[in-house]
Amino acid sequence: MRAALWIGLFVLAMAGQALAADLPLKPAHPAPVTAPAKTSPLPSPNAACLEWTDGCRVCQRAPNGEPSCSNVGIACVPKAEECTRR
């Protein structure tokens, strides 16, 4: 019984190598990778707001006035923006 099991495993292992030989090769020169598109920050509800969210991203205003936002979750549905800190 054990010999039949080992023979079966050996046949499966050899068949896997034969199938792998049929796979296409990777191209010699891969296509250039482009940078992902930048998402624009959420518009601030007003100038006095220092931190705001749409339920998916959280944005903060830097000391120079530039907004900086977190990444969007994969299955997030944005809501209306609301100010969370003034």
pLDDT digits (tens, 9 = 90+) for 12-66: 666 655 556 677 777 777 777 665 555 666 777 777 899 999 999 999 998 888 8
Rounded Cα distance, 38 and 65, in Å: 19
In a domain, 54, yes or no: yes
In a domain, 63, yes or no: yes
- In angstroms, the first-to-last Cα distance of the chain is 76
In a domain, 6, yes or no: no
Residues 6+ apart with CB under 8 A from 45: 52, 81, 82, 83
In a domain, 81, yes or no: yes
In a domain, 3, yes or no: no
In a domain, 68, yes or no: yes
pTM (predicted TM-score): 0.50
Torsion angle in degrees (nearest 10) through CA of 36, 41, 42, 44: 180
In a domain, 59, yes or no: yes
In a domain, 78, yes or no: yes
- What does residue 18 show for φ and ψ, rounded to 5 degrees? -65, -40
Domain count of the fold of the chain: 1
Residue-wise pLDDT tens digits, 51-66: 999 999 999 998 888 8
Domain that holds residue 62: 39-86
